[in-house]
Amino acid sequence: MAKINPLSGFPELLPGGRVVERAVIDELASVFELHGFTNIETRAVEPLERLAKGGEIDKEIYLLKRLSADASDDASRSHLPLGMHYDLTVPLARYVVENAGHLTFPFRRYQIQPAWRGERPQEGRFRQFTQADVDIIGAGELPFHHDVEVMTVMAEALDRLPLPALTLRFNNRKLIQGYLEGIGVNDVTPVLRVLDKLDKLDRATVVRMLVEQERLDERTADRCLALATISSADDSFVTQVEALGVRSELLATGLEELHAVVDASRSVTTQNVRVVADLRIARGLDYYTGTVVEISMKGYEHLSAVGGGGRYDALATDGRTTYPGVGISFGVSRSVVPLVNRGVLRGSRPVPSAVLVAVVSEEERAVSVRLAQQLRNRGIATEVAPSAAPFGKQIRFADRREIPFVVFPGMDGSAPQVKDIRSGVQTDLDPVAWLPPEGDRRPRVVARF
């Protein structure tokens, strides 16, 4: 094997970076479970016909092919062409319909898995990437309060992550549609697509596009902008929208829903998450029908959204029952990999071990192994030195792995000792009572931002 280069678009983390990724995943999973969301994993592949939608995404689908397909292999022949899933929503929809008879609804699940897209790699955009999705799926109906629930759960989880500040930008499709219809715009989707460009183009350009491409009159285009430029981190968006003077039942419902989602999400975020009503947010995808949300990360706005989601009234259908859903996805790889690669986040050590037990001589290795097991019995991650080198060398071995404590077995009846190799302080050790300080027990995430 000669020198090996990384594969573009398929990021892998060194052990210290993986500490960060696992901390993020564990925190998300822990909050989702506290709220009663069950974990599932779906297979990596779906029949191609379920993945291909005839849109842009189709080009990015990875197909799975046997290197040497054996014509006599029945199982192989009977398979439809298979592709790797490019998100966790398509597999969820299929899982729900396939297993509907065995699930209870509303079905509350989270899923943290990789997905694959053959797109051009760039920072935060990968060909294999892990995302964390939390959704609630109803059978036939799904009351609006689940929108509030799933968004607050994600807000609470994100608020605890060791990441740069995150912003949740909410909007509501009913609000936009009710407003646009109220000002006489009937073909809403293409207008939304233009308004979505407000983060890249200036206001005048967007107005001109609405007039020239979408054939709106100037006043209507201005009124579109008047809504889309409302953004507030408090409740003032409600009076701002009302002040625009458009009356519509759909608009009123959407405004009320948006207010409820924003209010509840804000109430659970205290540290790291900012909650904003941003009436420009539309989310390109056609299937959203109510709440929509996008997540951005401070200083990494060029990654565009690090997550998003919303309400879809028809996630799936089996012909008889329609399954509405509401959910939100967070890009674990998209946020974590750039932060780790830039050295902004790292694990406090690349190994779980809080303790290295030194070895006096190979003949006495068993003494160190027993001592290590005593510590492990009380939950202290411990490894034994790989060789009976001079103690100075064993300490340097621990230091290279950033293991904070070295334990020396007692010799000739003396007590074992423990050394904090950062401070150099060395004391007697009672192997059935000693504990490292709480902060040293597990690798922590160390941030520099």
- How many whole angstroms separate alpha carbon 60 and alpha carbon 58? 5
Q: How far is the CB of 275 from a second copy (least distance, A)?
A: 17
The CB-of-116 to a second copy minimum distance in angstroms stands at 8
Interface positions, 126-145, toward a second copy (CB under 8 A): 128, 143, 145
Alpha helix (H) residue ranges in 196-331: 203-212, 218-228, 236-243, 249-268
Q: With binding defined as CB under 8 A, does residue 208 bind a second copy?
A: no
When binding is defined by CB under 8 A, the residue of 77, 120, 197, 342 that contacts a second copy is 120
Nearer to a second copy, 11 or 309 (CB): 11
Which residue stretch of 115-123, 182-190, 245-253, 295-303 sits at the interface with a second copy (rule: CB under 8 A)?
115-123
Site for a second copy in 143-162 (CB under 8 A): 143, 145-146, 149
d(CA 335, CA 154): 15
Q: How far is the CB of 383 from a second copy (least distance, A)?
A: 3
Residue 73's Cβ-count burial label (10 Å; 0-12, 13-18, 19+) is: exposed
Buried-exposed string 195-234: b where 16+ CB fall within 10 A, e elsewhere: bbebeeeeeeebbebbeeebebeeebbebbbbbbebbeee
Q: Any idea which residue has 């092919």 for tokens?
A: 65
Tokens of 209: 């596009």
What amino acid occupies position 134?
V
Does residue 202 touch a second copy according to CB under 8 A?
Answer: no
- Contact between 212 and a second copy by CB under 8 A: the answer reads no
Is 39 a binding residue for a second copy by CB under 8 A? The answer is yes
Q: Is 441 near a second copy (CB under 8 A)? A: no
In terms of Cα–Cα distance, which of 137, 62, 73, 159 is closest to 317? 137
> Does 432 participate in binding a second copy (rule CB under 8 A)?
no
Residue 60 within binding range of a second copy, rule CB under 8 A? yes
Q: What's the CA angle centered on 357, arms 354 and 358, to 5 degrees?
A: 135
With CB under 8 A as the contact rule, which of the stretches 75-83, 213-221, 293-301, 338-346 interacts with a second copy? 75-83
First to last CA, the chain: 39
Among residues 20, 24, 45, 418, the one that binds a second copy under rule CB under 8 A: 45
Query: Which residues on adjacent β-strands are paired with residue 134?
Result: 110, 328
Q: Residue 212: what are its φ and ψ, rounded to 5°?
A: -80, -45
User: Is residue 360 involved in binding a second copy (CB under 8 A)?
Assistant: no
Indicate the pairing of strand 107-116 with strand 38-39: parallel
333 closest CA partner among 322, 341, 323: 341
Is 421 among the residues that bind a second copy (CB under 8 A)? no
Min CB(395)–a second copy separation in Å = 14
Site for a second copy in 304-323 (CB under 8 A): 316-319
Nearer to a second copy, 210 or 398 (CB): 398
Q: Does 71 bind a second copy (CB under 8 A)?
A: no
Rg (CA), the chain: 27
Please say whether the beta carbons of 124 and 109 come within 8 A. Answer: no
Window 87-106: residues binding a second copy (CB under 8 A) = 93-95, 97-99, 102-104, 106
**Residues in region 380-399 near a second copy by CB under 8 A:** 380-384, 386-387, 397
How many other C-beta atoms lie within 10 A of the C-beta of residue 318?
Answer: 12
In the complex with a second copy, which residue's Cβ is closer, 54 or 245? 54
Judged by CB under 8 A, how many residues of this single chain contact a second copy?
A: 98
Instruction: Indicate whether 10 belongs to the interface with a second copy (CB under 8 A).
Output: yes
Contact segment (CB under 8 A) with a second copy among 116-124, 197-205, 302-310, 338-346 equals 116-124
- Per CB under 8 A, 271 contacts a second copy: no
Q: Which stretch binds a second copy (CB under 8 A): 112-120, 188-196, 236-244, 430-438?
A: 112-120
Smallest gap, in angstroms, from Cβ of residue 243 to a second copy? Answer: 28
Q: Give the residue among 284, 276, 300, 288 at the shortest CA–CA distance from 196.
A: 284
CA distance 308 to 306: 7
